[in-house]
Structures are given as structure tokens and as C-alpha cells.
Chain A
Amino acid sequence: MPTISINLKDFAQLLGRPASDNRPVTAEQLEAWLPLVKGELKDQDAETGELRIELQDSNRPDLWSCEGIARQIRIKLEGAAPAYPFFQAAKDQKRRVQVAPGLERVRPYLAACVANGYPVTEEALTQLIQVQEKLADIFGRKRHTVSIGLYRLPAIVFPVTYDLVKPDEVRFTPLGFEEKMSLREILAVHPKGLEYGPIIAGHERVPILHDAEGQVLSLPPIINSREIGEVRVGDQALFVEVTGTDLLMVLLTLNIMAVNLADRGASIEPVDVVYPEATDLGKTIRTPVDFGQARSIPIKMIEAALGQALSADQIRKALLDYGYDASVSRDNVSVKLPPYRNDLMHAVDVVEDVAISRGYSDFSPVMPSQFTVGSLSRVEQVSDRLRDLMVGIGFQEIISNIMASRPELIDRMRLAGTEWDRIVEVENAMTQTFSCLRQAITPSLLKVEAASSRSFYPHRLFEVGEVALFDPTNDAGSRTVMKLGALIAHASANFSEAHSCLDLLLYYLDCPYQLEPLAHPSFLEGRAGRILSQGRPLGLIGELHPEVLEHWQVTMPSVVFELEVDRLGER
């Protein structure tokens, strides 16, 4: 979900309502239109007119620029899509990019075009750089699948070659540096080389873009040449190129760049990209290219999904208002996305666009009418009973994080190296504090006890919550179990008090039990037991070992018991 900055004046201009227009565009007005692009106004600077907008739809990269947002809204206001005649360009383009063999193993695809006759303004340059970054970073997965280069056209002599060279063969001056460097040096020294170099690492030869006279345009997807690849305010003719690993994504990205420039007044001239072998779209691809295909969708399907009767014309109108090419027959609507979109996977995608185009407020809510019975799961029912009983016995409920640390769960409990020391651990922990899933409730309660020595005593704490038990026999290597843990802490807390509470609790649950002596490192020897019900282990009870209390810096005698709630729920 990218967040972009746009300038309100620039937006108004692109919308066809410059400052001279008698219908000025305000930030409030823009905000009212934002549902059309799934945008949310994050903040604004009233003085400069800068607005920050978050765009939610990760499948709509065409909206990640001022041009894109303005376009979608303009279509709705004008009821017609803009014409982009360059997608139907005549054959035989004078400008050509030759793709060298071998690139199919490194970074196979390229698309390019020329934007002429529009002197780049400061605001346009800001947007060009922003959209280039957002597309390459988010849509292009940090330039892995897609990256974009912009160049000053007059410096380039066609045909251009998308070539493969050895890193020491070629030298050029990269952006941000003063002198010529070899490709190897750029990869080793330049900040962009260090950041994006790994994308093309592991190949003997690396991609390079150079013109007919051998001038380097760029080292894709890393860095442009300082001489040709630095666009400045006032430049009137640009060369735009996109390289990447996925043909359709590369083509789509170029289409977006092309329509954005066209919306600003540039005349787009296609470029022929010639591959050594045939691609899915042939050996020569004239880019930008409209590769979208029409799909036929039953009107009934749209009506059923929306829950509203719509005429064929209403559907067609909604789609045209949203930039589609649409025509209807009696039962079906034939739709085609504009060339800057490629997010139609299923008919439901069209359904949503119909709804957005008409406005969600156009659909009156209807309550689902079918009868269903509400209920709680068995384990939740038992948990609720346990909570009620524990509260009645005088315990304060605690709710804790399930994530904890190994020192808390194992070391402080004196369990390291024992049969109890396996827990679920996280591979990519951000901090040690939250790097494991708790296997017991007692450490959570001790955490509260340790932080609350100044709170009025006695302390009687409990938590009914989930834990993860390490269990190699389970498919996921662990089991999620609901446990009750209780802790009593005060100057004379002892086994007998905890036993009384446990006894009362299990009496009300109608669960006969016995205690069996247990040697467990967390407890004082001879003062701990396993709770058994009909021969099956149900939990533990005991006086915590003074060393455990010391580890937690708890200075009150503490006694605990834990029960597996799932086992109490068995009927």
C-alpha cells in the first residue's frame, strides 16, 4: 500500500480544472472523490498544497501517482475515457531497441517509448521520480521484477542496444558520481550498486543499455548514466525504458509511464523492441502495447453478486465511467480494461468496479435473513466457567502476551536441560523479549507478580489462555492448548491454600482427581504434585522454588497450579 505526495494545484491542472477555472478543487473535494481510487487522505499542508494519500489497492499501480488519481476521477466526471492513440501506432517505428541474446537468463524483457514536446515542469519531475520509485519498489518488488529508466532523448543515437557485457568491459559516470567507473566498481562502491547489485549478481555478464555510438544509458536495474540519464526541469524530449523479469509487468509499467506523460501533454512515440527469439507477444514488440483482451461476463452474474437488478445500460455506463471499454448484448457485457491496468483476474473484479463507479452509497443495505444458531466452542464454554469460578474464589484475572523469551519461560523456571525445556521458538525474532510462544501460564503470572510487589497483598492471580506445547508427533510440531494458571502470593502462601482452591474448583467441575508427588525443578521438592483425573494428567500444583522466585526477583512466597482446560472439557 503506497503512500504518495501530490500537489493540489498540479492535481487540479491534471483534472482539467486549472486555477483559472471557476470550479476550484479543494482538499475536501478531493477527499470526497478518493473512494474512486481506494485512497485515504493521510495529511495535508494547507500552505504548500501538498497532500499525502495512501492508496490501498496493490493491484492498481496505475493509481500511484497524481496523474493516475486525476485520470480515474476525470473519467468519472467526464463520463469518458481519454484517447491514447499511440497504442494503435503505425508500423515501422524509426526508433528501435535491440535485445541481445543471453539476457533471457539475466533480465529478459524491455519496453520503451519516447515522450516528446512537453517541457518537464518541476512538479511533473517530482511526480515522475515518485512514480518511478513506487512502481519499481512496490510493484517491481524492489526492482527485482521491474525497474524504470528516464533519459534525455537528444543525447541518444538510435538504435539502442540492451546488451550483456562483462563488468570490466564498460565504464561510465553514474548518477551521483563525478568520474567514470567500471561496472564492477559501481556494483562494489555506488550506494545503488550495493543496494540493488544482488539482483544481477551471480552472472558472468551484466545488463547494459547503450546507444548506437556506444554511449552508456544505464546499468539496469541499478543506476543511470550521469550524462544521458539525468532528466532536468525544462527537458522537452524523454526516452523511457522499463526492464524486468516478467513481460506483462514490464509492458504494464511502461504503459503507465506513457499515459502519465501523455496526460501532461507529451506526445508519445512508440519504440520497436526486437528480441533474439520470439516472446509470448512475438519477436518484435512495439511498445507501449495494449495487450489486454476483452472478456464476456453474464449480466446475471453481476446482478447476483451485487444483489441489485441493473440494466445492461446501467452496467455499461458504470464501466465506461470507470475507464473500461464496454459493450453489451442482451445477456452479457463484454469488457476490456484500459491499457494501463492489468488486474482483471475474475469477473468479480469487474463487479467491484461497477459498485465503485456507481458509488457504494448507491446500494441500500439488506440484512442477511437466513436463520443461524449462535454458539460458543466447547473449550470457550469451559473456559468461561473456570473464569467465573476463579473470580468467585477471589482471583484477579490476568491477560498476557503469548510471546515471551526463553530466559523467562525456561531459564528462570529452572527448566534448562530438563525434559521440560522444548518450546516453540521464532526464527526471525525482532527482540529476544518476544521470541518464543509460552508453554505455560505460570511465567506470565510471575511477570505480573514481579512487576507488582507494591500492590496490596494478598495476590491471587489467574489466567485462562492459549499456550503452544512443543509436540513432535503433531503435524505442525506443536499443539495449541488452553490452560488455566493460578498463582497465590503473600507472606504465608503455601501449598495447602492452593490445594484448597484447586479442590473447590474441581469439585464444582465435577472432576474427581488425585495428586501424585512430582519432582519438578520449578517447585520445592516434596511440595509439588501432578494433578491426575482418572489416571490422566490434568496439570501441576506446587510451591515455587525459592530460586525461581529469586530469578524473577519476587520476594513473596508463591504457589501455583495449572490445568489443561481442553481435558476438563472432555465429556
Chain B
Amino acid sequence: MNMTALIDSLHPLEIKVLTALKAEQAKAPSGSLRDDEISQHASLEASQVSMAIGWLLAKSLIRVQHETVTLFVSLTKIGERYFEKYSPVERILSAVRDAGQTGKRLTIQDIQSREGLDASEMSGAIGSLKKEGAIRIVSGGCVEATGSPSPTAESLRTLLQQLRGTKRELTALVEPLRRVVEQHAVKRGNANEPFRIDDHVDRWYVLTPEGECAADLLAQQGPSEEVSQLTPELLKDGSWRTKRFRKYTISLRPPRVLAGKRHPYREFLDLVKHKLVSMGFEEMRGSLVENEFWNMDALYMPQFHPARAIHDVYFVKEPTHARGIDEPFLSQVAAVHRDGGKTGSTGWGYAYDQERARRLVLRSQGTAVSARTLASGPKVPGKYFSIARCFRYDAVDATHACDFFQVEGIVLGPDINFRTLLGLLNLFAVEMAQAKESRFLPAYFPFTEPSVELHVRHPKLNWIELGGAGLFRPEVTLPLGVDVPVIAWGLGLDRMAMVALGIHDIRDLFSTNLDLIRTTRGRF
């Protein structure tokens, strides 16, 4: 690396450390500094020095001249407990001595239960006391004090007192104490000991030849201080002119930023919504809870229709029925179901049940919203759409949701006929799916005749069904007071949305996984 570029990229902390080492070297050619000395000379925090040393070592500007290892002793949790409650050795010895004075005889089990010691503590302590000759085992397994002192017990007490709340160099301890420490220090396989021995490494650093060169260059560059952040102060007093700005390594990954964001599926739905408005459609809205009349009867679905059974629609528990259905719609729809009424139709020819009409259900199709619009004096010509949440009695899996959005609507006008229906679908194919190819297939819906399915060639999915449409039957429009032809259309956009969002499970459209929601991006 070019030395000038290297210097330019140095962090202020690195410069301070280099300068401190350079000054020490000026005093003595082999002058080196320990990290705590560096921190003193350069007036930096220990953590800053450690960061800077890491960077400088990586750049080979400094090296470790030599290092020493110092062993320190301190108390473990157990050691602290021993300080307060005495060690097993001390407790056994004192128990045995007390017993000796009162003439009692204690077995090992007596001592263990009296002192609440566990078996391993017992055997270790009894072992070392016996070895020292401070106790002996007599007939009947009883333990007696011999009257000899226990150096271990005394050393332990001294150490526990000296080390409490502090640490000491191992070499600073006198020989017998040091041996006790080494015997009773935490080791692999024996964690239940009162002492811990830690090693502390001190390193002395010197400049490498490159480091010297860098330090010299820094010295030549003079006092112009390097800064990392342009501040309001620097701008106000113009002092930025005398500063150098540290160059950044811009290839690093940036820190994470959290953004407020629309839901990815919403972005898709908003696109659909704006497309429809741009094509001249007016939004209509409805209610999540509908009665069967508007959900189905008004759409000329006979009350015995298989899709109206208990296994297709959700019924509301309470109240079960709406209070009433507005006239003249109820009578007119009832007549159409019975015998066609005044529509020129034969009707379905069954006894229409007005009670059933009031049964409350969760809206199962967006067409219910269209039916309400037809009955409320819509504009002619008029175009309407809704993006309505609908509910279907389906087992929820990767392709079925219990509630989902349906995009659909109506077009009314004197110029509406089969060919304008096809024209509208062509427009949808181009606007909604950017399809270059589309085709129309005969279809069946209970409320339209003729009925059409729109298939388009999707760039990723090949031929897909984009939607269904048709001209509302007169049995639908006339009883609701509309006497111009009406297109009813619906678009199946969820598959397109899933492709655009890169998801494969319809449940992920309403995901509860925040990471997924935050990271999903649409390709619209």
C-alpha cells in the first residue's frame, strides 16, 4: 500500500498511538510501551488503545516486542463462602475438637450430617487432616482430634482473609501458602475449589520500520489535525479549512436502518386500485356481514344452489337474521326466483323462502357489493369496482385462505353488450397483467349470461385465468331497478400477487412474520 494513502486512512486513535510510540523511541532506540503505558501517554481509554493496537497490528505498523505472563490468585464463589462459613477442613477439625472436649464420639456420618457437607467435600477434607496427623480414626469408625495443629486449616484461613475482595500475584505468596493455593485452585474436572488462578499477559509494543516511516510522515504533515466528522462548529468558525478529513473505507456494509413501509401486498393492491380508478372506475364498499338476499338471492342464485350449503358459506351465530329486506327488492327478487316475475324468464320455479333471505352470512363474494350498488340508483353510464374481503368455508392451506380480497365490479350503460364485454376484458389483460396475448372461453356463473373466462399468457405462469365476467342476467338487473345492460367482472389477482411478491403460500399474503414483511419486495 502506498504510504501516503495508508496515512490518510489512519484513524485518529491510530495516529495517537503511533505518535506515543514514536516519542518513546526517541528517548531510547528500543523504547517500547506496555498497553497501559500507551493509554497513559496518549491519554486514551484502555478500550480505545486496544482497538487501535488491533488495527495497527493488522497493518504491520507496530509489533509485539516481548510479553510476560503473570499469574494472579483470587477467590471463587466457593472461596467467598468458605471465608464466611469456614471450609470443610476447618469445620471438621473444630467439630472433632469440640466433641473431644465434651467426651462425645463422632463418626464420619455424624460429622457429615451435622455440618451438612456433601460426600466429596467430606472425603477430601478428612483425607488431608488425617495425612497431616491432626485427626485419627479409631475403633467403631469414630474420629478423634490428635491435638496436633493442621497447617492446611491455618493456611486456608490466612489465604481466605488475604484474598477476600482482591487478587494477588501468585509469586508474591510465601511457599506453604502457594502450595495450598495450587492444591485448592479450580482446575479442569474440579470446579468446587476456593481459589482461582488467572494468567494476565502484558505486551510491550514497538514501531515496525513501516510504523516508524508512517510516524515520521505524520510528524512532517505538521499539526493540521485530522477529524472524522464535519461538525456545525467547524462550519461556523471556518476551522474546517485547517483540518484534514479522514478517508473512509466505503466498501464496508452500512449499519441497518428501519423504515416505515407499506405492506408489500398493499403495494400490489394499491397498484390495482389506481389502475381501476385511472380506467374510470368508482369505488364501492360493502359490509363484512351480509344477508343471503344480497349475497345470493339478488344474484339469482336459487336457494337450493349447492354453493349455498352449510359447507360453503359461514353463517352468523347471533343475530341469525337481518330484520328485514328493503322493498320493492324483496318482492321483485322473490317473484323472479318463483316464476321469472316481469323479466321474461321462467324463473327457477320453486317456493322462495323469505325467511332464508334474511339469514346473515359472512360475505362470500364481492358481487354482493355490486348487487347493493345496482339497487341504489347507480350512474348510467357507470363503472364501479370494489376490493372486498370475502369469506369461504374452506380448510386453510397453501392455496386456500379463510378470508381474502376479491377484486370485482360492474359496468353499466346502453352501449354494453357481449363485444364491449370482451373489449373491457382485453383492457384488463393489458392493464392488469401486461399481457400481450389473451383469449376468451365460455364460462358459467349463475348470475351472468353470456359468461366469459379471460385467460392471459403470463410471462412466468404461461396461460392463467385472469378473471371471469359476463352480462348480468335480466333476472338480476330488472328486479333491482336497472334496465340497461350491465357487465359483471371479477379478477383473480392473488396468484399474480404471489408471483410479484415471490411467495408460494397464499397464507403469506397475510403473514405474521415481521421479518418476512419487512424484507419482501414486490416486482411489479
Q: Which chain A residues have a beta carbon within 8 Å of chain B's beta carbons?
A: 1, 35-36, 38, 56-59, 138, 141, 304-308, 344-349, 351-352, 355-356, 360-361, 363-377, 379-380, 384, 387, 390-403, 424-431, 433-434, 437, 447-452, 454-456, 458-461, 466, 468, 472, 475-480
Contact = CB atoms under 8 A, between A and B. Distances in A.
Interface in B481-520: 485, 487, 509-510, 512-515, 517-518
Nearest to A453: B514
Given A346-B473, A371-B381, A452 B512 contact: yes
Interface residues of B, number: 103
Between B284, B362, B414, B475, the greatest number of chain A beta carbons within 10 A of the residue's beta carbon is seen for B362
Interface of B: 256, 258-263, 265-266, 270, 273, 276-291, 304, 306, 310-311, 314-320, 322-324, 340, 343-348, 360, 362, 379, 381-383, 389, 391, 393-396, 401-403, 411, 413-420, 422-427, 439-444, 446, 449-452, 471, 473-475, 485, 487, 509-510, 512-515, 517-518
Given A387-B266, A398-B517, A426-B316, A345 B347 contact: yes
A374 B276 contact: yes
Contacts of B344: 346-347
B443 A56 contact: yes
Given A307-B420, A346-B449, A390 B260 contact: yes
A370 B413 contact: yes
Contacts of A430: 393-395, 402
Contacts, number: 277
A305 B273 contact: no
Contact of B289 (A395, A399, A400, A424): A424
20 contacts: A58-B444, A305-B418, A307-B420, A308-B419, A345-B340, A346-B475, A368-B383, A368-B424, A370-B414, A372-B280, A394-B258, A395-B260, A427-B314, A428-B393, A430-B394, A434-B396, A466-B389, A476-B287, A476-B319, A477-B316
A476 B322 contact: yes
Contacts of B449: 346, 348-349, 351-352
A54 B512 CA distance: 36
A479 B360 CA distance: 13
B411 A368 contact: yes
Given A403-B403, A428-B310, A451-B512, A365 B422 contact: yes
Contacts of B314: 426-429
B512 A400 contact: yes
B514 A351 contact: no
Contacts of A370: 381, 413-415
Contact of A475 (B317, B323, B425, B515): B323
B450 A346 contact: no
Nearest to A348: B449
A396 B322 contact: no
Given A304-B417, A345-B346, A434-B396, A399 B265 contact: yes
Contacts of A349: 449
Given A452-B514, A452-B515, A376 B444 contact: no
* Closest A-B pairs by Cβ, 6 of them: A307-B417, A452-B514, A307-B419, A352-B450, A365-B422, A370-B381
A456 B282 CA distance: 40
Contact of A356 (B279, B360, B442, B487): B442
Contact of A427 (B277, B317, B340, B401): B317
A60 to B, nearest CB: 8
B262 A372 contact: no
A329 B182 CA distance: 121
Interface centre among A59, A363, A458, A468 (most CB of B within 10 A): A363
A425 B471 CA distance: 35
A568 B510 CA distance: 26
Given A346-B475, A355-B450, A374-B281, A401 B317 contact: no
B289 A459 contact: no
B2 to A, nearest CB: 39
